[in-house]
Structures are given as structure tokens and as C-alpha cells.
Amino acid sequence: GAVVSQHPSRVICKSGTSVKIECRSLDFQATTMFWYRQFPKQSLMLMATSNEGSKATYEQGVEKDKFLINHASLTLSTLTVTSAHPEDSSFYICSARVMGAAGELFFGEGSRLTVL
């Protein structure tokens, strides 16, 4: 199957700092990537849809100025959590859709963010 790599897998930062998470499709081009957030023992909540070469589409309730998404190339999307606070601590997961494959998503390994 298609491979999606996410980095870093774990990050700890101080409150008020910004953290960047990278999502790369290693063996395919992804015009669309999705960013999800997952709290402990809960399901995945879609945060935003990242479109190559255009602005991301954010879900209702997600602050676009706090969660900056950049999809600069067909293989890379980044999520920057700006001015992080402890309540931003979560598991962030990116996924990419293989072009032509109906609905299938391939996921990165996830990034666990802990804000102190």
C-alpha cells in the first residue's frame, strides 16, 4: 500500500511556542491531505483538508490562525500549531488520498504533542 510518513512522532514543547508537524507521501503524489486530531480513547476528528497549491479548508470550530496548514508540494503538507497551550496536547494524524482510489486514505504514524 501507499506510504505516508509523519514527523516528528513525539514532541514536547513549552506553552506559547509553535510546533510544526510534517506529513509526506513517500511513493505517490497527493493533491489532497487531511489532518485529524485524536484525544485519548476517542475517534479521529477532522480538522482540515489540505489542498496542494491552495488554502486549506477548515472544519467548523477549528481556528485557522492557530492551526496553520501549508501544502507546498504534491508530497508534503505541514501543520503548525501556533502559540501552543496545554489543551492543544493531542495525537495529530495526517492522511493522504491515493488519486483514483475510491475514498481510501493512508495514514501517517501520528504525532503526539505534549504542551507543558
Partner 1 sequence: TQLLEQSPQFLSIQEGENLTVYCNSSSVFSSLQWYRQEPGEGPVLLVTVVTGGEVKKLKRLTFQFGDARKDSSLHITAAQPGDTGLYLCAGEFSSASKIIFGSGTRLSIRP
| Per CB under 8 A, 109 contacts partner 1 | yes
Q: How far are the Cα atoms of 6, 41, 70, 77, 107 from residue 22, in angstroms, in the given order? A: 6, 24, 10, 6, 13
112 binds partner 1 (CB under 8 A): yes
Could you identify the residue written with the cell 489543551? 87
Check residue 41 for interaction with partner 1 (CB under 8 A).
Answer: yes
Q: Which range of residues in 13-21, 43-51, 67-75, 76-84 is near partner 1 by CB under 8 A?
A: 43-51
Cα 37 from Cα 71, distance rounded (Å):
18
Per CB under 8 A, residues contacting partner 1 are 1, 4, 6, 34, 36, 41-46, 49, 57, 60, 91, 93, 95, 101-110, 112
